[in-house]
Structure 1
């Protein structure tokens, strides 16, 4: 097979054979090829890139996937291209190709992150080769689709960047936060942020704070509360050092959310109240609504259902007004949870179903799992054991590989239900 590939490669024109070698150097964990990254790495315009890729298809070196895109026939085929690059091109040439690919990814990931959440503070990445041809991610849906496409390749990408563009690692991790938050494996998220924070390059203060806050969120999701609080308190100290009122409120929110998860509800309310006050004073209405949402959840856990529902409804309305469908759905889901705990299963079912529609549309894997668990509990309360078992299985599948603690908890509930 290798001999056949080499013969096909030898039969391609110079431009196509060069692109084939470049494809082997690009960061990818699969056989898929991203044409825009390939073009940026090769210094080609989009039309020339597609033309060269089609030549490689005609030579049998690539194929068209079911989505119409280009791909290697197998991972050994990708390794064949990389081996040819290793034997043909100089180290300087290979390093420049990889740097161009990483600069393209940094640029597009940063643009996607800013499109998804314009209010989130981001830092301009260090780019040596600004890509001449951009994707033009003009909608949130396009931006999320881009990060979802690149997300599974992040470990491979960061490994490559560690060797060829170490300074890019923290910026790339920072830019991909919307992916980590919605769809990332919490263990991987912690590992990647730890790598980003371990750089030997001095980081801008804002970037370090954002990375610490993000890692704290992932640690909280893994129920590693002491470590999460340590990161969040360090981030808060840095925000105070920088006299950044928005940052102070953000990290107070993170600390309050973590204390709530750790069942320190009274202290959680202190931090959340400060965060809400600070965010409201700064006119950060979406952030203030998210803090109000978390306060509603704290009140729910304290058994104060009326106060909880009041805050959750207000949060949902404010978030919807800000165009934040995902977090508005979170507020609605929690209202469904409150209704279920109060015994109003009909209202709970309606609210949870409405939230689930948004989570499926927006790609919130872990929130889909949480809603399925709550729906299963309602089914159990109504005596529908078969339906409950099916819902628990769906939730367990979604948690598998993403949240071991939750997966084990749901699996235990399923075992108890089915015997």
Structure 2
């Protein structure tokens, strides 16, 4: 541009130097003949002018004015801190720490620490890795691979089955800032290696069972340190250059010192022979010593000798079935459990029977049908007894050996009906809480009736606004998925599909495709088994949205076609329109615009007939994208304008802003550059304010495309670079596409000619509204 018109940048400034409200320009007059001594005029803006982006006020402009955005800043990279906490009573095992330090010499350091159950592998490694923060500034990742799974494993994804590659990589990628996680394990592994290629961080893989579990989880770059703990040697990892360290039991003196820190020096010295016997019976296992010390601390008047007698092996011990270390710890666990209060013992067994890895106070309260204060007191008792360990604010877990013990106690002391009621209460509480989050986060979208089987536990909601609701769904996603699977496995089909439906905002807002798609596969089957046709269609449509958004267009098409047949058979025109909209999206993505347009027009007719205005607006939005892709911006603008007006009327601000962004791009394509850029900037502001990061990136790319079309190459490049920075956290494929174009054959300042104005992510599609 030879002359800069502020309106082209979405401001309210006119080229004659006045403001839209009629106020005078700012500053002293400039240009030939101007009096340099003239006083500056005040900076006043009249009327109702609204300014977006850069604003220039000037009496006269000579030559060109060029505004340059500051260099795009990528979002701050998350620095995860996931290592398990180190107990305050940790005995510094300096020879072992020195040995681990000496093993760090490799180019891609991989260290395996092995030893018997309860010997303190996790605590030692966590303590050592925490001393390396300066060498690994990009953080710490932790995963429990659950390699202690029994020979006769429970159902898939149960807390006692080995962790899957997809499960671990999904958690790692989210911790590193990935907003959407692919559902394909190969794509997850590729994204994981790309995400770690330039990072310096530590990765702790706890409780590994085989070398095969480890290989897909190794980072992509040389700057990461990987440590593995296992009860096995894992010698197969020698092929990956692993170094090995065997952790042995504590010596007697260290065991006594560990006990001394809990019960005090006076008691140790006064009953030293019995103290030594207790430590000996604990076989040098820190977990067993901690359990013993907690029991002694809770009974200051009880002789230490009484505990020694309780720990002495009996003649019925099944030594042939013992796993190294486990029998010793089991004896200590029995002693600790026997002195719990009755309510704490009840909670211990209840939590042991649940398919969950971590617990908070509300989950604990729901499991026993008690109040929040009751649960907090019992959890404190379990933590004091070393039967539960804190992992964060209002978050705790079992050591794996303690979990097995708690499960065993539940099996022996609680009948199947009691255990089922415990699980049912927790599933119902998850459903009630997730449904409350859903009502707040997606109020315009349909929620099928909930049919709880138990009375509400009456617990206070753990959030009070939309941000808190989404945060709760995200932080409890593993528990929610475990509840979905458990309900389905037990034949509680209504609860299973209702839980999936209640998690809709989690899938829609955060695009965790590795959870979204499996959950809807379960939900679809559960709804079918429940004989609930409307729920089955809901699962088909919601699942197809995820499939389409993740790029699985053929499978998404199959789900939509099944939904369409079911809707027509049921005479449900609302669901028929939803399926038609989805099919239109799929055909557009597959490069069949004529077929897409016909399906979308049919959806509009169907929804007009039943008065579903929001649906017609969403169909018009997609139809506008088809027109824009086909080179007809005038028709596209008509669709986008109508869609936006309706979406504002039905109070759907997110989709109204989508229509605004697309309208802006269509205006630019029609030649109305200034108006189109203003609308795109307004949409960007709105998406930024709402946190819709994927559509921030989409709008940034449309701004770049538009600046390129307007001949402003440098500005276009800046927009593209800003789009790449956001895409890195939402759509790595798009980030890679733009980076390759920017760094490839294009000359500096010459952005890629790869407009994505008509590209759509399926997650923006609609489900039916209430």
Matched with 1:179 is 506
Residue 258 (structure 1) aligns with? 586
Identify the match of residue 321 of structure 1 among 637, 649, 652. 649
Asked if structure 2 preserves the Cα contact closer than 8 Å seen for 1:125 and 1:171, the reply is yes
Judge which range, 119-128 or 173-182, deviates more.
119-128
Aligned match for 1:206, one of 519, 531, 534: 534
**DSSP 3-state at the match of 2:476:** helix
Aligned residue number for residue 151 of structure 1: 477
Which structure has the greater CA radius of gyration? 2
Q: In structure 1, what is the equivalent of residue 455 of structure 2?
A: 130
Choose the corresponding residue for 1:71, options 380, 385, 395. 395
Rounded Cα–Cα distance in structure 2 between residues aligned with 1:250 and 1:349: 32
Q: Could you tell me how far apart the structure 1 residues matched to 2:702 and 2:355 are?
A: 39
Tell me: CA distance 1:150–1:280, structure 2 relative to 1, closer, same or farther (3 Å): farther
In structure 2, the residue matched to 1:85 is: 406
* Larger mean Cα displacement after TM superposition, 202-211 or 117-126: 117-126
The 1:6–1:310 alpha-carbon spacing in structure 2 relative to 1, beyond 3 Å, is farther
Give yes or no for the alignment of 1:382 onto 2:713: yes
Alignment correspondent of 1:193: 520
Q: Secondary structure at the match of 1:383?
A: helix
The secondary structure found in structure 1 opposite 2:395 is strand
In the other structure, the counterpart of 2:370 is 44
Please state whether the residue corresponding to 2:458 is helix, strand or coil. Answer: coil
Supply the distance in 2 between the matched residues of 1:152 and 1:376 (Cα, whole angstroms): 38
Higher mean alpha-carbon deviation, 132-141 vs 78-87, is at 132-141
Q: CA deviation at 1:153?
A: 4.2
The equivalent of 2:623 in structure 1 is 295
1:23 Cα deviation (Å)?
A: 4.1
Between 1:111-120 and 1:38-47, the stretch displaced more is: 111-120
Question: TM-score, normalising length from structure 2?
Answer: 0.47
SS at match of 2:529: coil
- Which residue of 1 is the match for residue 546 of structure 2? 218
- After the TM superposition, which of the residue ranges 203-212 and 353-362 deviates more from structure 2? 353-362
On the 8 A contact 1:372/1:395 being kept in 2, the answer is no
Structure 2 vs 1, CA of residues 49 and 320 (structure 1 numbering), >3 Å: closer, same or farther? farther
Q: Which residue of 1 aligns with 2:431?
A: 106
Cα distance in 2 for partners of 1:339, 1:27 equals: 54
TM-aligned CA deviation for residue 217 of structure 1: 1.6
Query: Which residue number in structure 2 is paired with residue 283 of structure 1?
Result: 611
C-alpha contact (below 8 Å) 2:637/2:666 kept by paired residues: yes
In structure 2, the CA distance between the partners of 1:279 and 1:84, relative to structure 1 (3 Å rule), is same
* Structure showing the higher helix proportion among its residues: 1
Deviations 1:171-224 (A, max 9, x none): 322222232122122343222222333447243111111111122222222333
CA contact (8 A) 1:26 1:38 kept: no
Sort the Cα spacing of 1:263 and 1:152 in 2 relative to 1 into closer, same or farther, 3 A. farther
Distance 2:530 2:604 in 1: 32
1:237 aligned partner: 565
- The offset of 1:414, in angstroms, is 0.2
Question: C-alpha distance in 2, partners of 1:179/1:382?
Answer: 38
Equivalence for 1:417: 742
Please give the alpha-carbon distance, in whole angstroms, between the structure 2 residues aligned to 1:25 and 1:366. 40
- Seen in structure 2, the aligned counterparts of structure 1 residues 378 and 81 have a Cα distance that, compared at 3 Å, is farther
Q: CA separation in 2, counterparts of 1:165 and 1:2?
A: 38
How large is the Cα RMSD of the aligned pairs?
Answer: 3.3
CA 1:179/1:329 → structure 2, altered by over 3 Å: closer, same or farther? same
Q: Name structure 1 gaps, 5 residues minimum.
A: 400-406
Task: Tell me, yes or no, if the aligned pair for 2:488 and 2:522 is still in contact at 8 Å.
Answer: no
Q: Supply the distance in 1 between the matched residues of 2:669 and 2:394 (Cα, whole angstroms).
A: 51
Cα distance in 1, alignment partners of residues 366 and 478 from structure 2:
20
Deviation of the 1:128 alpha carbon:
2.9
Looking at structure 2, the residues matched to 55 and 344 of structure 1 have their Cα atoms a distance apart, in angstroms, of 69
| CA separation of 1:135 and 1:330: change in aligned 2, threshold 3 A | farther
Aligned residue in 2 for 1:248: 576
**C-alpha offsets along residues 25-57 of structure 1, whole Å, 9 cap, x if unaligned?**
55556x5x4433321112112332334345556
Residues 701 and 719, structure 2, Cα contact 8 Å, conserved in 1: no
Stretch deviating more after TM superposition (209-218 or 378-387): 378-387
Matched, 1:169 2:496: yes
Matches within 5 A, 1:335-346: 335-339=663-667, 341=669
Aligned counterparts of 1:340 and 1:187: Cα–Cα separation in 2: 37
8 Å contact kept, 1:296–1:308: yes
**2:634–2:666 Cα contact (<8 Å) kept:** no
Deviates more, 1:243-252 or 1:129-138: 129-138
Question: Under a length normalisation based on structure 1, what TM-score does the superposition of the two structures give?
Answer: 0.82
Change in CA separation of 1:356 and 1:56 when aligned onto 2, cut-off 3 Å: farther
Q: Mean Cα displacement is larger for which, 326-335 or 205-214?
A: 326-335
Aligned residues: 404
- Give the Å deviation of 1:329: 1.8
- Does the CA-based 8 Å contact 2:485-2:522 persist in structure 1? no
After TM superposition, give the deviation of residue 295 of structure 1 in Å: 1.9
Within the candidate set 389, 401, 419, 1:94 is matched to: 419
The 1:415–1:162 alpha-carbon spacing in structure 2 relative to 1, beyond 3 Å, is: same
The answer for the alignment partner of 1:304 in structure 2 is: 632
Instruction: Please tell me whether the aligned partners of residues 517 and 546 of structure 2 are also in contact (alpha carbons under 8 angstroms).
Output: yes
Change (3 A) 1:104 1:299: same
For the residues of structure 2 that align with 1:192 and 1:208, how far apart are their CA atoms? Answer: 13
> For residue 403 of structure 1, what is the aligned residue in structure 2?
none
- Runs of 5+ consecutive residues of structure 2 not aligned to the other structure: 1-285, 295-335, 745-770
> What residue in structure 2 maps to residue 3 of structure 1?
288
In the alignment, the residues of structure 1 paired with residue 629 and residue 558 of structure 2 have an alpha-carbon distance, to the nearest angstrom, of 24
Residues 52/309 of structure 1: CA separation in 2 closer, same or farther (3 Å cut)? farther
Describe the shift of the 1:333–1:415 C-alpha distance in structure 2 as closer, same or farther (beyond 3 A).
same
Equivalent pair of 2:371/2:459 in contact (CA under 8 Å): no
Q: Does 1:370 align with 2:698?
A: yes
Is residue 614–residue 647 contact of structure 2 (8 Å, CA) maintained in 1?
Answer: yes
In the TM superposition, what whole-angstrom CA distance separates every residue of 1:113-140 from its partner, at most 9, and x where no partner exists?
Answer: 3454455444445533232215468866
Deviations 1:224-255 (A, max 9, x none): 33322222122111111111122222222222
Structure 1 residues 418 and 343: CA distance shift in structure 2, 3 A: farther
Distance (Å, rounded) in 2 between the aligned partners of 1:188 and 1:345: 41
